[in-house]
Structure formats: C-alpha cells, structure tokens
Structure 1
Amino acid sequence: MDRLQSIETFVRVAQTQSFAEAARQLRVANSVVTTRVKQLEEFLGAPLFHRSTRVVRLSDMGQAFLRDCTELVARADSIVDQMREARGTPSGTLRVHALTGMVLGRFASLLREFQSTYPDIHLELIVSDAVADPVKAGVDCALQIFPAASQELVSRPLFPVRRVLCATPAYLKAHGEPVTPRELHRHKLGLYSGYPTRDRWTFHHQGEQITIYLAAALLTNSVHLLREYALEHAGIVCLPTLVAGDAIARGDLRVVLSDHQLSSFSLSAVYAGTSRNALKLRLFIEHIATRFTRVPPWDATLIERGLIPSELIEFSRSSG
C-alpha cells in the first residue's frame, strides 16, 4: 500500500462525498479508489466511512482523521512544489473553474502568456456559469463573482465587474430612452439570472438609492446571449462592461441611465487554504492580478470617453 496515495484518496472521497467523483477527479477507476480506502481502513483497523447506496459519510474515526490528512496532503504537495520552484520548473496540472461570461473573449491571451512563462504547468479550465465549491468540484480555484461557499475557503478579489444597462441606438430611437429606473418597466428587458439579488435591482443616484423589482422578457445565465439579444435591437439589457465594453466603445450599444449606477461585483479567485497546488495556484493568481488592475482596460476606455462614471460602487448585501 502506498500510504500517502491512500491518504490522498481518502481526503478526496471525504471532500466530494462520493467514491465515483473522487475516482473521476483522480483519473482512476472506481475500483482503485475503493481498494485504496479499504487498504487504509485495514491498516488503521477501523472504518473511515459509513456507506450506503446513496450516501457516503465519515465515521467518527474518519472525522478525527480528516483534518490531519488534509494538511498532510497539502504539505506533501507544497514540499514538492518548493523543490520544483528551487529548480525553476514548476510543473503539473492546475484545475480552474471559471464563469463563462468572465473568461470568453478576454482570457485566452492571458492563458497563452501564463503558459509561455510556465510551460510545464498544464491548465484544465472548466467553463460554466454554475456556482462551484472548489473543494467538492475537485478544482484548485474557482473564478467567480459569488461569495465563497464556506468560511474554510479563501477569496481573493482580482478586479471589479461593473454592470451597465445598454441597448442599440436603433432600439432607443424606436422605443424611447428611460430617464429614471422606473421607466424600465415600459421596456423589454434582458437580465442575467445568476446575480445574488435576483429580481431586486438597486440604483445609486446622487447619494440616494432606488430599489425596484424588474421582470425580464429574457432571463438567462448567459451574458453573451444577452449581448447578442441587445444587438438584435430586442430590448435593454444589463451587461458587465467586461462583455459589453467593445460594443459600447464602437457605438453599437449605448449605455442608458448612466447617472443611475448599479453596484459592481468583484471577480475573485476562491480556493481552499490548504490547496494541494499552492505554488502553481499562487503563480496563476498573481499572473491575473498583474494583468488586470483596479480599473481594467475595458473600463478605462469607457471612463476616458465619459461613457461610464469613474467612481465605483461596491456590491453589499444590504443594498444590492
């Protein structure tokens, strides 16, 4: 029995609460995971899990064993990473979950640059609008605008994600341009379904807040679909400037209610404090952070042209 390998497998099963998911993440057969855990249980002389056809949960022994095992696996990986860093050759696989709307159109060049700098680091990027717990999903970090799923996770903000309402000049000519947020009720709206505030929208205007509930003609988890919807002159949509910036700069889309700001989220790297790939993850996060500042380039262009305000209103759960 490879003791460290068996311990790592036990940790993965405990984190995912699934033998099958642990096998998928470790890229081995289900039987291999079962055998490794069984060998470890035989070595310890006690069961680590209570198993049923539907549930895998830790036994008392497993619960007592898990924390130390998690730290052991992380420490072992850290030692290997430090040795590779001393040789100047960090290597291995880094798994990242990222929101679709946050990476399409902006991240390919960043990934190319990162791999040019660290050619022995292989990236596995899972792109989805689903909220991911990096531990249960078996990834090293999740790039997301949502709060961390638990206090055991670290969340490092990378850059602000501003939101604007916009439409084509042709749509606004045909249907009129709203002057106040409440006038949005008279328009067809395209809205993103994944924001924590749901149907509740808070606008900030001259130090005051206006909160209204908006019904969408198109509600979707794809900000790229919303952009295409707007470009079809179908209505007013809410988009991150990350996605809409180029179209706004070209004049294909026009910002509406620019003096009534929506709050901004932060794109954050969310990861476990005991990440197995601490070195590779640190290098990746630092690479992103150095490329995107407090005012990312797509916002800087719009601010310079006076198309969006320079001030930033951070999202808070109390105001939305």
Structure 2
Amino acid sequence: MDRLQNIEAFVRVAQTQSFAEAARQLRVSRSVITTRIKQLEEYVGAPLFHRSTRMVRLSEVGQAYLLDCTELVGRANDIVDQMRDVSHSLSGTLRIHALPGLVLGNFGVLHSFRSAYPDIRLDLIVSDAVIDPIKAGVDCALQIFPPATTELIARHLFSVRRVFCATPQYLQGHGTPKVPRDLHNHKLGLYSGYPTRDQWTFHHDSEEVTLYLKASLLTNSVHLLREYALDHAGIVCLPTLVAEDAILKGDLRIVLAEHLLSSFWLSAVYAATSRNAFKLRLFIEHISSKFSRIPPWDAALIERGILPSRLVEA
C-alpha cells in the first residue's frame, strides 16, 4: 500500500465531495480511488466517509484528520518540487484558471514563464466563471473575486480599472454623457460578473453618485462587450486591460473620464495547502514581477492624459 497516494486520494475526495471528480483530477480511474480509500480505511480501522448514492461526507475520523492530511500531501509535493529544482529538472503540471480578459492579448507574461521553466506544463482553463480552485481541481484561479472560504489565499497582482466607452460614431449620433445619470438615455452593454451587480458608484472630486443601470446587453464576456461597442451599438463598461488598444487607436473613446468607478484587484487565489506549492509560488512570483501597481495598459492611458492617475479601490 502506498500510504501517501492513499492519503492524497482521501484529501481529493474530501475536497471535491466526489470519488469521480477526485479520480478525474488525479488522472486515475474511479475504481483506483475507491481501492485507495478502502485500503486507508482498513489500515486506520475506521471509515473516513459516509457514502450514499447522492452524497459523500466526512466521518468524524475523516473530519479530525483532514487538515493534517492536506498539509502532509502539500508538503510532500513541495519537497519533491524543490528536489527537482536543485537538480535543474523542475517539471510537472500547473493547472491555472484565468479570465479571458487577462489571457487574450496578454499571453506574453505566460509565455515568459514557460521560457523560464520549460519543463513545467501549463494546463490553462480560460473562462469568466467564478470557481472554487479546490473543487475545480486547479492550482490557482486568477480572478477579481475575493476567496470564497478561509481555506483559500489571495495574492494581489494588479488593479483592474473600468471605464465607460463607445465609438466616436455612436457618440456623434447619440450624444456624449456629461454626468453619470445621462447613461440612462443610452443603450448600455454591461458585464454581469462584477461583485457589485447592477449597482454602479461613480466618484468625482469628493462626491459619490450611485446608480442602478439597466443593460441592453448583459453578458459575462468583456470581449463580447468590446465587439458590441465597436459595432457602434452603445456605450459599454470595459476593463482598461481589454479596452486600452482600441482607445489608443481612437476606435473607442472614454466617456465620463473624471467620474471614476472603483477598481478591483486581480488576484491569484489558491488553496492554503496547495499540492503544487513550490511551482505555484514560482508562477505567482513571476507574474508579480511583470506588473507594478500601475499596469502597462493603464500607464499608457495615463501618460497620454486619457485616464486620470487617481485610483479608487473597491
């Protein structure tokens, strides 16, 4: 019996609450997971789970030792990774969940990590969905939402600013908003995934104005919003990460530039006891080293006077 493999199987089943999902994440068959759990239960002389056709939940013994087992698996993987690093053969797979807005058009930072560590394979899942990294079986989620549980850690990477913008053609035909309330008179494209939902707070000098905006197009894709705006269909709210190139080219124009929206932090969210802790630390430190507090897409807009240098944090 490989005790460490069996303990890792126990940890994955506990985290995902599923034998099938644990098998998928560990790339083995479900029967292998079942056998490993059975062997471990026989060895400790107590059931680790209560099973039914609809759910899997920890037994009293399983609950008592889950944290210790999780830390043991994470530490074991960390030691192996460090041993590989010493021998110049750091390898394996990192599963990363990332927002499309970060990856599409900004792949260079990931490419430079691959160049620095060519034997580490990136398994990159690109989606606007909000996930729990543990249940999803990924090492890290690059997202704007704070951690959902105390089992997760968030490492801030850079701020994500948002601006309202439209094409010059749309503004010429429909007018340019002068104050936030003017947005009620326009067709709006809005992102559905912000933590603030339909509530939008604008900051101007020392005043705040909060509006509830109704969208003509509501979507979880900022790239679709960008296309909606470029088709002269309305005014959209985009992160500067996605809009900067079109703004600098003059294809999009920022409106209400002095009425600032709060920004969010793009963070690396991961389990406190990650099984790939050493490789993950290298990955996060590499990304952090590529960005300052003001990321390059914001710096370009600020330098040209298109975007105020002031930042309002959520």
Q: Decide: shared fold, TM above 0.5.
A: yes
Looking at structure 1, the residues matched to 284 and 119 of structure 2 have their Cα atoms a distance apart, in angstroms, of: 17
Which residue does the alignment assign to 1:260?
259
Looking at structure 1, the residues matched to 239 and 29 of structure 2 have their Cα atoms a distance apart, in angstroms, of: 42
Instruction: Say which SS state the counterpart of residue 74 (structure 2) adopts.
Output: helix
Which residue does the alignment assign to 1:282?
281
Which residue does the alignment assign to 1:175?
174
Looking at structure 2, the residues matched to 36 and 264 of structure 1 have their Cα atoms a distance apart, in angstroms, of: 46
Looking at structure 1, the residues matched to 268 and 133 of structure 2 have their Cα atoms a distance apart, in angstroms, of: 10
TM-score by length of 2: 0.98
User: In the TM superposition, what is the alpha-carbon distance from 1:74 to its structure 2 partner?
Assistant: 0.9
Instruction: Say which SS state the counterpart of residue 13 (structure 1) adopts.
Output: helix
Looking at structure 2, the residues matched to 151 and 11 of structure 1 have their Cα atoms a distance apart, in angstroms, of: 17
Looking at structure 1, the residues matched to 28 and 86 of structure 2 have their Cα atoms a distance apart, in angstroms, of: 30
Looking at structure 1, the residues matched to 244 and 100 of structure 2 have their Cα atoms a distance apart, in angstroms, of: 16
Looking at structure 2, the residues matched to 309 and 151 of structure 1 have their Cα atoms a distance apart, in angstroms, of: 36
Q: 1:1-320 counterparts in 2 under 5 A?
A: 1-106=1-106, 108-315=107-314
User: In the TM superposition, what is the alpha-carbon distance from 1:116 to its structure 2 partner?
Assistant: 1.1
Instruction: Say which SS state the counterpart of residue 4 (structure 2) adopts.
Output: helix
Q: Which moved more, 1:184-193 or 1:96-105?
A: 96-105
Looking at structure 2, the residues matched to 65 and 200 of structure 1 have their Cα atoms a distance apart, in angstroms, of: 43
User: In the TM superposition, what is the alpha-carbon distance from 1:89 to its structure 2 partner?
Assistant: 2.7
Looking at structure 1, the residues matched to 150 and 47 of structure 2 have their Cα atoms a distance apart, in angstroms, of: 28
Instruction: Say which SS state the counterpart of residue 69 (structure 2) adopts.
Output: helix
Percent identity over paired residues: 74
Looking at structure 2, the residues matched to 60 and 104 of structure 1 have their Cα atoms a distance apart, in angstroms, of: 46
Q: Deviations over 1:2-50 (max 9, x none)?
A: 1110000000000000001001101111111111111111111111001
Instruction: Say which SS state the counterpart of residue 251 (structure 2) adopts.
Output: coil
Looking at structure 2, the residues matched to 212 and 255 of structure 1 have their Cα atoms a distance apart, in angstroms, of: 19
Looking at structure 2, the residues matched to 197 and 71 of structure 1 have their Cα atoms a distance apart, in angstroms, of: 35
Q: Is the 8 A contact 1:153 1:270 kept in 2?
A: yes
Q: Is the 8 A contact 1:264 1:313 kept in 2?
A: yes
Looking at structure 2, the residues matched to 148 and 240 of structure 1 have their Cα atoms a distance apart, in angstroms, of: 21
Structure 1: 4+ residue segments shifted above 6 A? none
Looking at structure 2, the residues matched to 42 and 239 of structure 1 have their Cα atoms a distance apart, in angstroms, of: 56
Q: Is the 8 A contact 1:114 1:284 kept in 2?
A: yes
Instruction: Say which SS state the counterpart of residue 81 (structure 1) adopts.
Output: helix
Q: Is the 8 A contact 1:154 1:270 kept in 2?
A: yes
Looking at structure 1, the residues matched to 81 and 210 of structure 2 have their Cα atoms a distance apart, in angstroms, of: 49
Looking at structure 2, the residues matched to 68 and 196 of structure 1 have their Cα atoms a distance apart, in angstroms, of: 33
Which residue does the alignment assign to 1:318?
none
Root-mean-square deviation (CA, aligned residues, Å) is 0.8
Looking at structure 2, the residues matched to 96 and 184 of structure 1 have their Cα atoms a distance apart, in angstroms, of: 37
Q: Deviations over 1:235-270 (max 9, x none)?
A: 000000000000000000000000100011010001
Q: Is the 8 A contact 1:89 1:118 kept in 2?
A: no
Instruction: Say which SS state the counterpart of residue 242 (structure 1) adopts.
Output: helix
TM-score by length of 1: 0.97
Instruction: Say which SS state the counterpart of residue 300 (structure 2) adopts.
Output: helix
Looking at structure 1, the residues matched to 22 and 151 of structure 2 have their Cα atoms a distance apart, in angstroms, of: 20
Count of aligned residue pairs for this structure pair: 314
Q: Which moved more, 1:127-136 or 1:259-268?
A: 127-136
Looking at structure 1, the residues matched to 100 and 299 of structure 2 have their Cα atoms a distance apart, in angstroms, of: 22
